[in-house]
Amino acid sequence: MTDQNNTVKMQQVIDRLYKQHYGKMVASLLRFSKEIDLETAEDIVQDAFAAAMSHWATQLPANPAGWIFSVCRNKALNKLRDDKKMLRLHQAPEPEDTVSAFSADFPDDEQLRLLFACAHPDLAPKVQVVITLKYVINLKVATIASLLGMTIDGADKLLLRARQKIKDEKILLVTPAPAAMAKRLPIVHKIIYLIFNEGHTSAEGKTLLREELCEEALILNKAILDSHMGNIDSCALYALMLLNAARFKARFDDNGELLDLDQQDRSLWNQDLIRLGAYYFQQSKGEQLSSYHFEAYIAYLHSTAPSFADTDWKTIAQLYKHLLPNPFVELNYAIALYYAGEQDSAFEKLFALQRTPFMNSYYLLNATLGKLFMQKGDHAQAAAYYSKTLTQTRSAAEANYIRKMLSKLNL
């Protein structure tokens, strides 16, 4: 039993080191020598972690991270020798940016440099998100697949294509020049926004991993602000995420059931995060407003409203107009119009969305129609829309919510 406990404890230590250092190790190997490509660097790092698991069976080294970095360095040198490339390194000095020191001592902005590297404009947006999750947030492929609703094989193939593109087009995961980093800032904002939404908008968002994903997005955005590389869009995005994260704990009841905004216990909203979000929203003021500004303002109005009924729905509806055209925004716009007292206009927009094949099969559209018809007292229509949603969601939390609504209709 003791051996089993030691094994579990050791695995936890290694998992924590992986989470903290995997991407940094890969990036350092790439900088160590231009002869090491991304796939080789990943293989070396994976081998080093496997070696740690077998060598640390009885006792941890004094510096576990340094031990793994040393193994990576030695394996890299062996790889270069095996490929008969070390001779050239000894005979003729390489340019200074080709071979660099390999060390376990990283500057505080290492994660930030990796983030900007993953935001290479020649990579597709989904690829940028996936490689950020892998190399910056240090998630394993199975975890990435689960978060993005992909199969493990699908995530593996996407990463394989990404590695090939990086190799073929010489897109190295190294620090871009300062001018290039500035140009990549909008891409970085989008990556952070998408990562936060993956954690926040899921109906399964009460899991620890989902909360950690939101936290990672907040950490990355704060690093940009602290580095003085950010701008007012960075402040607006940070405010948006803080204001949404403040309401995270109230989205589910004690039984794990999904709650609508009007059902949430507002005393559970984190007032410290709301105040911090409000501060950064004030800091985001400027002449050129982005979508993050409008979304942050909407989140601010929700977070500071004393009750659902007292929410400034008219202003929220006007803010959504700035984010059109977009079918998902159109849905939220219609909901805001409904609660602002413009029910006929709201239903007109919802029915127009329903006439498009994609939105007609979208869970939230039909769930919204079900709820609004329920509030109007048309239980037959409400039941029809709610029943339709059961075939449109793969989320247990969403399905349980719909069944609860149907039970209230007694149909």
pLDDT tens-digit map of 129-142: 999 999 888 888 98
Whole-prediction pTM: 0.83
Beta pairing partners, 250: none
Q: Does 113 reside within a domain?
A: no
Convert the pLDDT of each residue in 93-119 to its tens digit.
343 333 344 444 433 467 788 899 889
Q: Does 79 reside within a domain?
A: yes
Q: Does 217 reside within a domain?
A: no
Q: Does 150 reside within a domain?
A: no
Length of the chain equals 411
The pairs formed by 117-121 with CB atoms below 8 angstroms and a separation of 24 or more are 117/27, 117/172, 117/173, 117/174, 117/175, 117/176, 118/173, 118/191, 119/184, 119/187, 119/188, 119/191, 120/171, 120/176, 120/184, 121/183, 121/184, 121/187
Q: What is the residue type of 21?
A: H
Convert the pLDDT of each residue in 368-390 to its tens digit.
999 999 999 999 999 999 999 99
Work out the average pLDDT over 255-269: 91
pLDDT value of position 77: 87
Full domain range(s) for residue 51: 1-94
pLDDT value of position 204: 52
Q: Does 52 reside within a domain?
A: yes
How many whole angstroms separate alpha carbon 28 and alpha carbon 45? 10
How many whole angstroms separate alpha carbon 37 and alpha carbon 260? 48
Convert the pLDDT of each residue in 20-46 to its tens digit.
888 888 888 887 777 888 888 889 999
CB 80 within 8 A of CB 48: no
Beta pairing partners, 328: none
Is 267 a residue whose pLDDT tops 70? yes
Structure tokens given for 128 = 């940028």
C-alpha distances out from residue 179 to 113, 117, 170, 185, Å: 13, 13, 19, 10
Contacts of residue 43, defined as CB under 8 A and 6 or more positions apart, other chains included, come to none
Q: Does 120 reside within a domain?
A: no
How many CB atoms sit inside 10 A of residue 335's CB?
Answer: 22
How many whole angstroms separate alpha carbon 255 and alpha carbon 407? 17
Phi, psi of 391 (to 5 degrees): -90, 0
Beta pairing partners, 258: 252
Nearest to 45 by CA among 109, 102, 90, 113: 102
If one counts the domains in the chain, the total is 1
Task: Categorize the per-residue pLDDT at 4 as very low, low, confident or very high, splitting at 50, 70 and 90.
Answer: low
How many CB atoms sit inside 10 A of residue 35's CB?
Answer: 17
Q: Does 83 reside within a domain?
A: yes
How many whole angstroms separate alpha carbon 310 and alpha carbon 168? 57
Contacts of residue 224, defined as CB under 8 A and 6 or more positions apart, other chains included, come to 112, 185, 188, 230, 234
Q: Give all strands (DSSP E) within 325-378, no chain letters.
A: none
Burial annotation 281-291 (CB, 10 A radius, 16+ → b, else e): bebbeeeebbb
Work out the average pLDDT over 319-328: 96
Convert the pLDDT of each residue in 206-221 to its tens digit.
455 678 889 989 999 9
DSSP annotation of 35: T
SS3 396: helix
Q: Does 297 reside within a domain?
A: no
Structure tokens given for 19 = 């989470």
Nearest to 124 by CA among 43, 187, 35: 187
pLDDT value of position 78: 86
How many whole angstroms separate alpha carbon 142 and alpha carbon 147? 9
Nearest to 103 by CA among 43, 137, 49, 63: 63
